[in-house]
Amino acid sequence: MDFNSRVLDMLKNNVSKKTDNNDFLLNDNLRLLAKWRMELIRQTFLKYGNTIVASGPLKGLDFLEISAEGCHVPKLIGCYEQPLSPFIAGAIDANYSTVVHIGCAEGYYAVGMAKKMPATKSFAFDISEKAQNLCRKLAQKNNIEDRIKIGGAFKIEDFGAFKEENTLVICDIEGGEYDLLDPVKAPELKTMDIIVELHNIAKINGLDLMINRFKESHNINAVEDDGQRDIKDVVAPWFKNLSHLDQLITVWEMRSEPTPWLVMKVK
């Protein structure tokens, strides 16, 4: 069965479900169709373009044809998590001796930053074997496999291995950050700069929780995301000929709720 037929079957199955919540059902199908369209655009992008990141702080990274999960084309364009871009660029310029990426996925940041930071030791962790394998592939593709170490689960006691380094921690672990980034249990965190994406913030007041943990030891910048993206650097004629809806779908990052970042620098 081809891709379009599989999506159509999923759509028919969804529509046939009995539910009292038609709003949820329609929204669920809208997301499914948007993901379908996004995949077609990804294939078109790769057909007419290449895998070189076109803009942003990781410009020049030779990326992959697929991501471990989530959106892909925004990474190729270079507008992925664009509100965070100035801080990623600042981290690249900061000359850290060590960068620890927890929840590295396919290595967009882990490999992309390592390529820009030749004097920095890079460590990348993800519980997904698929993500680890893609990260290795990306490192090899960019000829930095000898400068990055890739591992699985990262435990709170593992921070101790980096306490003597000038370390930046980048963390994106789908809600696990509240258990892992605890300076009481891991006091080494008080000496490390941290960029963390927060999840489920409405359920546990996560933004205030994390700020209160680190406000004594760190200067904290909360970075919100309004979903808007600057794509003026995408100059490909085929892209400019896309409908406005397709251009919007192209930069959609598939977030179902606000996921702000905290950029925390040691005082």
Percent of the chain with pLDDT strictly greater than 90: 64
Question: Of the candidates 181, 75, 67, 59, which has an alpha carbon nearest to the alpha carbon of residue 113?
Answer: 59
What is the pTM for the complete model shown?
A: 0.91
Domains of the chain: 73-230+254-266 (3.40.50.150)
* pLDDT more than 70, % of the chain: 99
pLDDT tens digits for range 13-68? 888 888 888 888 888 888 899 889 988 888 888 888 789 998 899 999 999 999 99
Whether residue 234 is predicted with pLDDT greater than 70 in this model: the reply is no
- 8 A C-beta contact, residue 126 and residue 132: yes
